Chains A and B, each alone.
Chain A
């Protein structure tokens, strides 16, 4: 009972609600798969999958810009028969795909989703950290979790009783191990500067000094390459290089077991892009605006946010309008069907614009909770803290989506490296660059007189 009574109900509510962030990587899969498919299409001057539709009675077909295709594929994977080849180790074979996917729910625990919520409640100052677990070994915990996902690949490769799977698993494990080293070492520079393993502290340091990408450009570069390699995506996907190894460690898997590997991979991308955004791009910090300024002008900040969202909705409307005009001029037999669907999107987007504008205006005029400064820390009401958290969260999401795009972008641009090239790059180049960067950073930090 003491534990429960040590916090007020609001604190408990927010603390428990924060566990919902565990599902963010899984939600990102819903975003990343269409992004990858349509993005790949656009890069190759194709349209990408856009034909599947849901038929709505009395309305027509809803295509959602090709999003329905992903639902169809997901449904197909889900209802396919689970099949194990003869002679596999049944237990490990069935457990293996779940490992990378289960890790996905653990990794987001240490990422700060918003700045520490500091507000006044019931006469006391309440401080709630932005991460689910505000650990002092945050980054290390995250690395521990994400290297666990290699077990999934290794066990899958070993249990499948297939040469290709086995070779794929060997390659995955060796690559994960070698690039974990680079990953850890390239990150050390920014840790030295911030003087903490705690991700919240790192972000706070960046907020008050300069973003990691400016302070440590070389480290950022090494970290980006190493984390692309660690997720096992092209150009580093030697583990599942189809000309050599069919599909690597998940050769023998089908149906939702394959789906779990697939989702695990995408979630891994999500986690890594959150990590990069947090370490090098200021995490939840809004560019050029400090949290204190934002809190002092809460209504204005929310109004600007609503304005940006309304602008995005208008841009969407413009794109739909352009395409509708072009489509109406063609002789395509399904043009009225598609135009009808676009009319629906038009209505929704205009409604969104109206809602955002109204919300923005309301926020500007009516959402100005009072703040006070106690010992240099802005302490506002719960309303201020919630508004700040919302803006922080959206900023972090935008940054991480940008890095997710980098993953897709790189995959569809660069050809796959040969296996020995990957190892050379990892051990002989990136590791050395990271080490030199660390030494230089340490010397400069000592000379300038950091901690």
Chain B
């Protein structure tokens, strides 16, 4: 066990007054900063100014899309199994595409129950589920609106993710045409 012995206070410290004056000087510096350098204060006036969000921030989910616009999800249910909060609900149905076995018919995430741990993203074998939307505000009028359905999860714009190649593959992205050709070629 490590014992930290505090140094006994020196006479100047025990007199209190000098230390108090030192503290006053510190607060005076900060007050002067606020008064004369108001614009350097670290506060972000929130609804008007948005904070910078890191790429790794676990925000609202989205489902990645194939070049033809169908969700990449294969309805394996790994994310639902991994979810500690049991907030993912998946119903699978047969896929129209002969290369793919299943597709999702229903993919709901209840954001009121979600704990934003990111385990679903880790569990996904096909990189279909991501949490990189940087949307951190959940503001709805009733509880049902907090449940994100398949439409909400796939309704994102590739232009918002310019640096991400996987997102550009989706319809509307810069690499969509090329990817669509490749995707179509593999059928034969």
Contact = CB atoms under 8 A, between A and B. Distances in A.
Interface of A: 38-39, 41-48, 319, 322-323, 326-327, 330-335, 409-410, 412-414
B30 A43 contact: yes
**Majority secondary structure of chain B interface residues (helix, strand, loop or mixed):** helix
B34 A42 contact: yes
Contacts of A334: 45, 48
Nearest to A425: B16
Given A332-B48, A413-B26, 18 more contacts: A38-B34, A39-B31, A42-B33, A43-B31, A44-B30, A45-B42, A45-B43, A46-B34, A46-B43, A47-B34, A47-B41, A319-B38, A326-B39, A332-B49, A409-B24, A412-B27, A413-B23, A414-B24
A433 B33 CA distance: 36
A351 B38 CA distance: 24
24 contacts: A38-B34, A41-B34, A42-B30, A45-B33, A45-B41, A46-B34, A46-B41, A47-B34, A47-B38, A47-B45, A319-B36, A319-B38, A323-B38, A323-B39, A327-B39, A330-B49, A331-B50, A332-B49, A334-B48, A335-B48, A410-B24, A412-B27, A413-B24, A413-B26
B28 interface: yes
A409 B43 contact: no
A326 B49 CA distance: 13
Interface of B: 20, 23-24, 26-28, 30-31, 33-36, 38-39, 41-43, 45, 47-50
- 4 closest residue pairs by CB, A with B: A42-B34, A326-B39, A332-B49, A334-B48
Contacts of A322: 39
Contacts of A326: 39
Contacts of B26: 413
Contacts of B34: 38, 41-43, 45-48
Contacts of B38: 47, 319, 323
Contacts of B20: 413-414
Contacts of B48: 332-335
A438 B42 CA distance: 49
B43 to A, nearest CB: 5
A64 to B, nearest CB: 15
A334 B45 CA distance: 10
A117 B30 CA distance: 42
A47 B43 contact: yes
A309 to B, nearest CB: 19
A46 B27 CA distance: 12
A410 B17 CA distance: 12
A433 to B, nearest CB: 11
A50 to B, nearest CB: 8
Contacts of A331: 49-50
Nearest to A406: B24
Contacts of A43: 27, 30-31, 34
A41 B43 CA distance: 11
Nearest to B45: A332
A221 to B, nearest CB: 9
A414 B35 contact: no
A322 B33 CA distance: 13
A409 B35 CA distance: 14
Contact of A414 (B23, B36, B41, B42): B23
A41 B38 CA distance: 11
Contacts of A412: 27
Contacts of B41: 45-47
Contacts of B24: 409-410, 413-414
Contacts of B27: 43, 409, 412-413
Nearest to A47: B43
A409 B28 contact: yes
